[in-house]
Structure 1
């Protein structure tokens, strides 16, 4: 540990000591001594590679009673959570230390991005043009890998705030004692809070969980970030002055709108999700306006007010004699009354604490923004600019960013569903159409014919199937939402498993049914977004879009979308389909070709990256991932999913959340304005990458899809069956009622491999690919080329960096204990032997290419993190294996099942990006 890391060590020791005291107080000395003995053995093994300590650790764990097993699982799970909190606070501490010391801006910061842009010779006009047309949107999904309950997250936030207080303030002895006592209470509350959900989450539960991040972070920190960006630009160039940026950074959501494989997302659920989002937005505005009115106690005896402000004050009809000379308060009283009326109009009920003052509701959020603008301009004009830069500034930005809908919800459905619905509608309207029997060109012709008329296809007098009726209800609910909240509330309709032009035209027909596509006006009120997911679909994506753009009716519709077409790329299913290396390469190639196709048609490409939290699902540091995109792929606009436990890791802590949002802005700025400086990959690099991908694809497919018994091995050697029983989401683990790998969703697939510490989707096939490549190209020349690719090509370097992280978190020795759960010894040895050999080959190849002596030598922060947490993670794996063995041998009482689920939570917390 260097000196700068001492505070982290002290925080971990403090929290660990408090947790130990809690275990002793709650469960007794005997249990505490068992937990402490396990901790010491594990630390000794990890620190000193002491094999005797490992044997003692395993013997102690194997001898635990059921009750002791659960206690150990809880203790080490909570320690992982506490270590995460300490690490997050240390990141904040180090960032503040850099700023206080006046250090050079760090990569990923806005200051660093602006410095790089200005150093490249770009001017204020270039920056202004970027922000004018930019769109950056992290999108929260409901994908079920967030294993922690909101109650647990709330406890974590309290502990983080208390640690932050210790770090930032010079506490008196009494204050320090009070802080420590509060920390002990918080740790005790965490210990006594149920870790597991006792019922399965509903979609609306997921909506509420998602909304909590707006309370924690987004509503306050996004306006704060905008203000920082504006102030940084003004500091760089005085010409910016008081210029306000467009609201280019918005947080989106899939929660309540993602129907793909989730039968519980209905029209009623969508409408309730929208209502709950609006409730959060409006209640925030009401509270902020109320507080602002208490602060702007400006008297006309001392300050002037604009005519527009005085008119606003008169309109408020505020008859209080105590405010008769306070026009700003009067105006805000009127704003509050109109907001309350808006709440009633949109939600059908009164807000808490609403007065009886009659007022007209705002027709839209823009009208509210206009009133706040009047107050803002009056303050500026009359010598009160400092007051305009405080709470009012942040409120004005919040209204422009969140509107009355809070966050745009994407609607997503599988292309197969749209095909069946359209086929049923056509058959009812035109018997004998036999839509599904038509080839692709026949379908396109028929769909274009349907899109050329404003005549509805559906009839209220035809009894449709439940599926069709449900889909039509969703589209009509979307249209009502557009009228109620504006089209920004539901701006994207996504088609999963897109493999042809007809998939997009089928959605267009359904949008026409609801009036969201208006053929007579050639207008489209939402984006139609194809999602290309499998390796084959990614390869066909450029040709699919080329064919689509050649259709004149569709091209005319794009004019109403500012000639912008969004395309979503799926990292998860492409990885499950073809493996880590091939998935990344096919995504990269698809982007290059899509850029070419779009340029040829004069259209703007907006890419939506469907990345998961783990490397096996496209995860990894966002900054490097955005900069590693091929030239021309960002174009100032990017959307990317934030999934599962990564949402909490990034956005539960407000300060960490703001820094993560800043990273997205900085990376997009650099990738857009400096992309011309990055040369296209050399032909030799592309050729080598294709060869590696081909070899890796064959190795991956041979194991996962072509090895007899692999499906059985997977289900027996991982916790997939137990994960399917966890109440962590409303969506089933598989698309169908089968155990086939093809039907399994990518999330539980990756999550399961993470739990057993193999992380197979994040690396398998690379070692075999490098060996085959070197055999073809020659050992010396081939390795020299791969090393050059790593030095000079950001895409390849990022792939290897992510693989480095995954391999460092894997542990073959622990994975071997999970392999022992496979009953067929021959199958176990055949498959695990291949996995072990490939793991060794991959580590060796990675180290040789990167020039590292050990994994993560190039990432000391993560290496430190792993060193800190793994002694507390290893016991959880051993406990989990033992409980799985007992459970599957028939000892299926509730304590064992609960213990398995607790260990799943703890391991996920320790790994941080497991699904």
Structure 2
């Protein structure tokens, strides 16, 4: 094992040197500029000695990766500093990561702009998808596919965004000044001023507290999510539709659009009460009102802007009769307002009308019922009246330009912005019904009834579309779905709201039983009515987080795929238009990874032009923090949805799935046994609590939701929510949920079914875990074992073919490879040693070694992320600086674990250091939860 660790250290050093040499000049310049600016700020505030200590640690961790010094020497250096100094150094590295992330974001935007020359369609873009589909499909089939297209991202408030909102906005201000500084059309004085302002904002970032002093409540989370809408989503969505329309036919902006509004945002923020007692009916009401205020404000501003610029004179074309009649009616109803507008815009009827529409939107926001719109449909009717009048007068560019963008925005966001979804645990409903039938109700049951009444209020105020879905987590039978409809009758009787109850299947057993549950749902009268009313549309949610925590990544991936395939067949047999709702997290241990690859890996027939997915935690701002990046993300996902819905792609995927089915089952079975042999071993939950900052993460105030079910230390994995489970493993640099068990599964699959080792793991038992001597050379040329007693069977070639031909298997290994790349064996070993169970530590490290070598062997890569140059460079460049924060965290964690009787002030200082380092590691590793 020691020799293997040494070899990996040599490779790591070579890989980092390669990554540094490959850094593009523009990115290198921005990283240097921001890093030097931060160093200047640190020296100004803390003195040159502080900057010197930061530099000492930076150089030391780089030297340790080059094996010029040992990690013990780095740990000794960190131990010499007073805690207060360590806190300052942790702040410095955390700020550095925020700035490096910013530099990389700017570089991504430059690359997108440089590739978007218009000469050829960008890979994975809408233009590329449409071009390919025009070649493969007939015009009628393409038209049908576009007409059925749906993309439904659902924002959730899961606590994986470790940054405070104040930190995020400070970074945005630095970003604005960096853009000014780099702008090619700025003169020397303008650049100098931009640099001065950038220093000012970096100084403020340095002086802003990294840790929250108060816990977030659900409405704080709602307001945080609104930043993504205000700054990005509202403006980006019409650009997506415009891109699709341009790809479908020539002349976009001068003709009626062929692209429809296919994006519908949803939100669980303020609606998800499963395990979160802080989300009440009142909170849900306030969440919808906050959303409505933001979207109505945005619509009002956009309409006002269009109205002020729409100076089409009646001299060059009279308004249509419909518009003239509408203006006349407005004069009768609101003479003073229309008279004022006519004075401001004489002989400009279209301008008058759009300003009148803006006034009505403002009245809707103020709840001035005399002038307000009653629904988005009324607003759309008025916008289309203006559009048709412009077309009739020959002003087609005005008709199908900004006004069309506004129409698309209203169609997408309505007056509610995002469809708020309520989620609650099935057991809560079962208990509530028991109480109601017994004639007594607890406070929690009253809250369930109040929630249903609130849904009815929301629908009455904003329309059914604003809040129709009720997600039932841990759905075990059709009775769990029927319970919601029965509770709705208890709450409001005949006035019950329109409800689409969505079953959520999370555990392995529940996924296996999902089709049977849906068959039972079809017998529920309320479900039958909703199917008849909604065109036989039904939605089912699949949980990635808990299934992966229960089964391990490989077995959960196959179990989810099987569930998708079975549900797609069930829907076809029952004439159901099924939408699968994918509850994916940001981290790889919770179904994360590149979204477009995930779509293309879905089971045949399970997409059918519709894709719904959760966007969680830090992923929201990574994907929607900047318009250019948001546009690219949405286009990539939509590209994959379109291609995955074609018969040719479905056929290729089905053939590959059938061809490698037995192979996948061997991988899944052996990997699950290996995973359970660790996670279900006596003492494992307690050990995990010792080797990770699990307990302390609860103090970070990341979100309004409790980190685990119940109180006290976890006694089993069931006590832990998936998010802190994944987040904590990322902090230890182990990243176990993203890869553990896969190596044992791959090894078993290289052998024939008869030769597969029983019960446990590769060449081992459930008690001891995988054999530490199981190794293969990761080079493309050689799949033979290097030493050890484990023989690699002929199945290795079949695994390689499966990786090349089956998107699901490729996605599994690519995601594991990414997770392995973010794992650091030397640092991880120091965390694992804190638990006092060397057997567990050895088992984890042995499985890591086995998984790393076999993933490389199957993919044919000589090093991790070899085929993903940009991501590899980002990981390799960050690793040493993450090491610095890990050493600081280990110092705090070791002291806290070693003594239970620390003085209170010392404990508080150590916890501050620990939590600051958690923030920094999260910023450095990015998709951590």
Q: TM-score under structure 1 normalisation?
A: 0.90
Match of 2:632 among 644, 659, 666: 659
The answer as to whether partners of 1:414 and 1:495 remain within 8 angstroms in 2 is yes
State the alpha-carbon separation in 1 of the partners of residues 362 and 576 from structure 2: 43
3-state SS of 2:612 partner: strand
1:100 positional shift? 2.6
CA change 1:576–1:717 in 2 (3 A) is same
Residue of structure 1 in register with 2:74 after alignment: 57
1:52 positional shift? 1.4
Q: Does 1:130 align with 2:130?
A: no
CA displacement 1:81-116 (0-9 Å, x = unmatched): 11111111111111211123835521x211221222
- Pairs within 5 Å for 1:272-351: 272-314=286-328, 315-316=330-331, 317=335, 318-320=338-340, 321-345=343-367
1:12 positional shift? 0.7
Residue of structure 2 in register with 1:562 after alignment: 535
Residue of structure 2 in register with 1:374 after alignment: 385
1:516 positional shift? 9.2
Q: Does 1:842 align with 2:851?
A: yes
Residue of structure 1 in register with 2:4 after alignment: none
Residue of structure 1 in register with 2:720 after alignment: 744
The answer as to whether partners of 1:479 and 1:516 remain within 8 angstroms in 2 is no
Aligned CA-pair RMSD: 2.2
State the alpha-carbon separation in 2 of the partners of residues 689 and 858 from structure 1: 23
State the alpha-carbon separation in 2 of the partners of residues 171 and 334 from structure 1: 40
CA change 1:863–1:343 in 2 (3 A) is same
Residue of structure 2 in register with 1:477 after alignment: 454
CA displacement 1:611-649 (0-9 Å, x = unmatched): 001110000000000000011010111110011111111
Residue of structure 2 in register with 1:387 after alignment: 398
CA change 1:200–1:408 in 2 (3 A) is same
Residue of structure 2 in register with 1:721 after alignment: 695
Match of 2:842 among 833, 839, 842: 833
1:240 positional shift? 11
3-state SS of 1:619 partner: coil
Residue of structure 2 in register with 1:689 after alignment: 664
CA change 1:543–1:295 in 2 (3 A) is same
State the alpha-carbon separation in 2 of the partners of residues 150 and 188 from structure 1: 17
Residue of structure 1 in register with 2:818 after alignment: 805
3-state SS of 1:100 partner: coil
1:541 positional shift? 1.0
3-state SS of 2:160 partner: coil
CA change 1:516–1:813 in 2 (3 A) is farther
What stretches of structure 1 move > 6 A for 4+ residues in a row? 237-240, 516-519
The answer as to whether partners of 1:479 and 1:514 remain within 8 angstroms in 2 is no
The answer as to whether partners of 1:312 and 1:334 remain within 8 angstroms in 2 is no
CA change 1:551–1:298 in 2 (3 A) is closer
Q: Does 1:74 align with 2:47?
A: no
Match of 2:444 among 451, 456, 467: 467
CA displacement 1:575-619 (0-9 Å, x = unmatched): 111111111110001111111111111111100000001110000
State the alpha-carbon separation in 2 of the partners of residues 410 and 14 from structure 1: 44
Match of 2:683 among 686, 689, 709: 709
- Pairs within 5 Å for 1:296-695: 296-314=310-328, 315-316=330-331, 317=335, 318-320=338-340, 321-345=343-367, 359-428=370-439, 464-514=441-491, 525-549=498-522, 554-673=527-646, 674-680=648-654, 681-695=656-670
3-state SS of 2:106 partner: helix
Match of 2:921 among 904, 907, 914: 907
- Pairs within 5 Å for 1:257-276: 257-276=271-290
Structure 1: unaligned runs, 5 residues or longer = 351-357, 429-462
Residue of structure 1 in register with 2:41 after alignment: 22
CA change 1:227–1:104 in 2 (3 A) is closer
Q: Does 1:204 align with 2:219?
A: yes
CA change 1:407–1:682 in 2 (3 A) is closer
State the alpha-carbon separation in 2 of the partners of residues 699 and 248 from structure 1: 43
The answer as to whether partners of 1:609 and 1:640 remain within 8 angstroms in 2 is yes
1:743 positional shift? 1.3
Residue of structure 2 in register with 1:447 after alignment: none
1:884 positional shift? 1.6
CA displacement 1:431-466 (0-9 Å, x = unmatched): xxxxxxxxxxxxxxxxxxxxxxxxxxxxxxxx5211
3-state SS of 1:148 partner: coil
The answer as to whether partners of 1:199 and 1:727 remain within 8 angstroms in 2 is yes
Higher relative contact order, chain-length normalized (CA < 8 Å, sep 6+): 1
CA displacement 1:366-417 (0-9 Å, x = unmatched): 1011111122222222232223344323222211111111110111000001
State the alpha-carbon separation in 1 of the partners of residues 182 and 115 from structure 2: 15
State the alpha-carbon separation in 1 of the partners of residues 240 and 58 from structure 2: 42
3-state SS of 1:607 partner: strand
Q: Does 1:95 align with 2:112?
A: yes
Residue of structure 2 in register with 1:448 after alignment: none
3-state SS of 1:624 partner: helix
Residue of structure 1 in register with 2:788 after alignment: none
The answer as to whether partners of 2:865 and 2:872 remain within 8 angstroms in 1 is yes
The answer as to whether partners of 1:766 and 1:842 remain within 8 angstroms in 2 is yes
Structure 2: unaligned runs, 5 residues or longer = 1-19, 756-791
3-state SS of 1:154 partner: helix
The answer as to whether partners of 1:508 and 1:517 remain within 8 angstroms in 2 is no
Residue of structure 2 in register with 1:113 after alignment: 129
**Number of residues of Structure 1 aligned to a counterpart in Structure 2:** 856
CA change 1:553–1:339 in 2 (3 A) is closer
State the alpha-carbon separation in 2 of the partners of residues 380 and 204 from structure 1: 44
State the alpha-carbon separation in 2 of the partners of residues 309 and 535 from structure 1: 59
CA displacement 1:35-87 (0-9 Å, x = unmatched): 012112223444xx234164543332222211210111111111111111111
3-state SS of 2:534 partner: coil
CA displacement 1:458-517 (0-9 Å, x = unmatched): xxxxx5211111100000110111111001111211000011111111112223445698
CA change 1:551–1:407 in 2 (3 A) is closer
State the alpha-carbon separation in 1 of the partners of residues 582 and 414 from structure 2: 25
State the alpha-carbon separation in 2 of the partners of residues 633 and 626 from structure 1: 10
Residue of structure 2 in register with 1:149 after alignment: 164
Residue of structure 2 in register with 1:454 after alignment: none
The answer as to whether partners of 2:450 and 2:491 remain within 8 angstroms in 1 is no
Q: Does 1:766 align with 2:777?
A: no
Residue of structure 1 in register with 2:55 after alignment: 36
CA change 1:60–1:666 in 2 (3 A) is same
3-state SS of 2:117 partner: helix
Greater shift in the superposed pair: 332-341 or 8-17:
332-341
3-state SS of 2:249 partner: helix
The answer as to whether partners of 2:155 and 2:266 remain within 8 angstroms in 1 is yes
1:801 positional shift? 0.2
3-state SS of 1:243 partner: coil
CA change 1:388–1:181 in 2 (3 A) is farther
State the alpha-carbon separation in 1 of the partners of residues 277 and 252 from structure 2: 55
Residue of structure 1 in register with 2:186 after alignment: 171
The answer as to whether partners of 1:157 and 1:652 remain within 8 angstroms in 2 is no
3-state SS of 1:566 partner: strand
Greater shift in the superposed pair: 721-730 or 226-235:
226-235
State the alpha-carbon separation in 2 of the partners of residues 582 and 636 from structure 1: 27
State the alpha-carbon separation in 1 of the partners of residues 526 and 166 from structure 2: 51
